[in-house]
């Protein structure tokens, strides 16, 4: 029998107004000169203004510092620049503030603070990554769950592909989940980021790695999302829905320490080659990916269906999968996520490059059923 190892790590503070605790948490972590890592889009938001007020607007540049150059689908240069900003300002900790992009850059910048000049492509050559500067992670989207994860997804300069840098030392020392910070996230981004969380829960639940705790967390994540995401989409000010989405997103990321599946392998190249938002890319591929898996392993979505509130306990395997996939199809359509790839600028002549990158992507190797290169092309064409 093979052995498995589990862990449920991060200290998390949750609730409307939780951001107010940040200064005390920084003191507790011994951080006196934090670098805030974020993106330019955040600077004009009420979320960022709240952060500024909390840290003391007048003290920007003397007690706390800012790097706001993170790209959506972040690139290695963002990490290099954030690390340089940290060193130049003699920062002793990082506050990663934003969606998955700033969170991933904030996490990874600490690697290059420890080893300036290190090429992220060599990440797995296993140097010692202990004693990184401490990280506080504060999400302003509810999707990636990167705040509780041990990985950072960065497009490498050498390959132009998204690399997953995975290491337990990348974990945040403190997470703050404050629903007020996600209140002004526009409906389209609310939907797309929420669809990422939903995909994490569904793909991690069906991933065959042994981790019954994660399976339970994934199913509860689905349950929260089907209730809360439509409410957050329709009314951004619904703090109950915003809070449940933040928790569900974190749960999705805890669950996907099992791993993910084919949908994420299809989604990653859509971001690197065609610039699609990660959550949108997942949303557009999710139903096709589910149909593909259900045809080859009937019954895998029965418990996902139950988590969606469907009465599928006594249904046949095929009926349970069909009802669940129909539900997810309507659910995504209700969020405006029923468009085709070509409506987002993806062209058939991108197909070879997309399929090649998706094949190299590690996620499908842990998919619930085996995937071939021909399957990948067929799936892209289905959603084109």
Ligand X SMILES: NC(=O)c1ccc[n+]([C@@H]2O[C@H](COP(=O)([O-])OP(=O)(O)OC[C@H]3O[C@@H](n4cnc5c(N)ncnc54)[C@H](O)[C@@H]3O)[C@@H](O)[C@H]2O)c1
CB 315 within 8 A of CB 301: no
Q: How far apart are CA 114 and CA 130, in angstroms?
A: 9
Interacting partner of 68 out of ligand X, Fe ion, none (Cβ under 5 to 8 A depending on kind) = none
- Which span (77-85, 149-157, 287-295, 320-328) binds ligand X, by CB under 6 A? 149-157
- Which span (6-14, 36-44, 179-187, 191-199) binds Fe ion, by CB under 5 A? 191-199
Residue whose C-beta lies closest to Fe ion: 196
Interacting partner of 324 out of ligand X, Fe ion, none (Cβ under 5 to 8 A depending on kind) = none
Tokens of 68: 């706001």
Kindly give the pairing relationship between strand 93-98 and strand 34-39.
Answer: parallel
Interacting partner of 366 out of ligand X, Fe ion, none (Cβ under 5 to 8 A depending on kind) = none
- Taken as a whole, the chain contains a residue count of 384
Tokens of 109: 């910048």
Q: How far apart are CA 382 and CA 235, in angstroms?
A: 32
Q: How far apart are CA 373 and CA 175, in angstroms?
A: 39
- Which span (59-67, 145-153, 293-301, 365-373) binds ligand X, by CB under 6 A? 145-153
CB 105 within 8 A of CB 68: no
Residue 12 beta carbon to ligand X: minimum distance, rounded to whole angstroms: 15
- Which span (64-72, 190-198, 208-216, 301-309) binds Fe ion, by CB under 5 A? 190-198
Interacting partner of 98 out of Fe ion, ligand X, none (Cβ under 5 to 8 A depending on kind) = ligand X
Q: Is 227 exposed, middle or buried (0-12, 13-18, 19+ CB in 10 A)?
A: middle
Question: Taking the alpha carbons of 92, 95, 101, 107 in that order, is the dihedral positive or negative?
Answer: positive
Told to check if 151 binds ligand X by CB under 6 A, we report yes
Count of residues in contact with ligand X, rule CB under 6 A: 33
Judged by CB, which is closer to ligand X: 143, or 305? 143
Beta bridge partners of 162: 155
- 97: Cβ contacts below 8 Å, ≥ 6 apart: 36, 37, 38, 42, 47, 48, 51, 106, 138, 140
CB 154 within 8 A of CB 260: no
CB 177 within 8 A of CB 246: yes
Encoded one letter per residue, x for contact with ligand X by CB under 6 A and - for no contact, window 78-117 reads: --------------------xxxx--x-------------
Question: Taking the alpha carbons of 29, 41, 178, 63 in that order, is the dihedral positive or negative?
Answer: positive
Interacting partner of 155 out of ligand X, Fe ion, none (Cβ under 5 to 8 A depending on kind) = none
- Which span (8-16, 182-190, 313-321, 341-349) binds ligand X, by CB under 6 A? 182-190
- Which span (18-26, 40-48, 177-185, 188-196) binds Fe ion, by CB under 5 A? 188-196
CB 9 within 8 A of CB 173: no
Of 81, 196, 321, 361, the residue at the interface with Fe ion (CB under 5 A) is 196
Told to check if 172 binds ligand X by CB under 6 A, we report no
Residue 230 beta carbon to Fe ion: minimum distance, rounded to whole angstroms: 20
Residues that bind ligand X (CB under 6 A): 39, 41-42, 45, 47, 72-74, 98-101, 104, 140-141, 143-144, 146, 149, 151-153, 162, 181-182, 184-185, 189, 193, 196, 253, 278-279
Residues that bind Fe ion (CB under 5 A): 196
């Amino acid at each position: 029998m093979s052995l498995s190892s589990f862990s449920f790590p991060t200290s998390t503070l949750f609730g409307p107004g939780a951001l107010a605790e940040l200064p005390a948490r920084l003191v507790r972590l011994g951080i006196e000169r934090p670098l805030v890592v974020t993106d330019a889009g955040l600077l004009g938001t009420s979320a960022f203004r709240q952060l500024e007020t909390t840290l003391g607007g007048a003290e920007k540049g003397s007690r706390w510092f800012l790097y706001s150059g993170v790209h959506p689908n972040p690139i290695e240069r963002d990490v290099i620049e954030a690390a340089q900003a940290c060193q130049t300002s003699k920062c002793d900790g990082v506050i990663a503030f934003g969606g998955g992009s700033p969170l991933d850059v904030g996490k990874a910048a600490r690697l290059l603070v420890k080893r300036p000049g290190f090429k992220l492509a060599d990440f797995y050559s296993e140097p010692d990554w202990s004693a990184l500067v401490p990280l506080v992670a504060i999400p302003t989207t509810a999707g990636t769950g990167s705040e509780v994860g041990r990985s950072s997804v960065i497009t490498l300069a050498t390959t132009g592909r998204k690399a997953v840098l995975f290491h337990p030392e990348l974990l945040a020392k403190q997470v703050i989940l404050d629903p007020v910070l996600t209140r002004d996230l526009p409906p389209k981004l609310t939907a797309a980021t929420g669809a990422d969380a939903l995909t994490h829960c569904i793909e991690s639940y069906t991933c065959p790695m042994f981790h019954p705790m994660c399976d339970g967390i994934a199913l509860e994540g689905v349950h929260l999302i089907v209730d809360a995401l439509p409410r957050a989409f329709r009314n951004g000010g619904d703090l109950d829905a915003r809070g449940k989405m933040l928790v569900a997103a974190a749960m999705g990321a805890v669950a996907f320490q099992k791993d993910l599946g084919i949908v994420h392998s299809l989604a990653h190249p859509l971001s690197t080659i065609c610039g699609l938002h990660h959550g949108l890319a997942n949303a557009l591929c999710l139903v096709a990916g589910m149909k593909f898996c259900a045809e080859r392993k009937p019954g895998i979505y029965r418990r996902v269906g139950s988590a969606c509130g469907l009465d599928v306990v006594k249904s046949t395997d095929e009926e349970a999968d069909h009802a669940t996939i129909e539900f997810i199809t309507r659910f995504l359509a209700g969020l405006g996520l029923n468009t085709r790839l070509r409506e987002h600028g993806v062209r058939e002549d991108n197909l070879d490059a997309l399929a090649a990158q998706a094949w190299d992507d590690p996620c499908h190797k842990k998919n619930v059923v085996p995937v071939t290169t021909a399957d990948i092309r067929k799936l892209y064409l289905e959603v084109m």
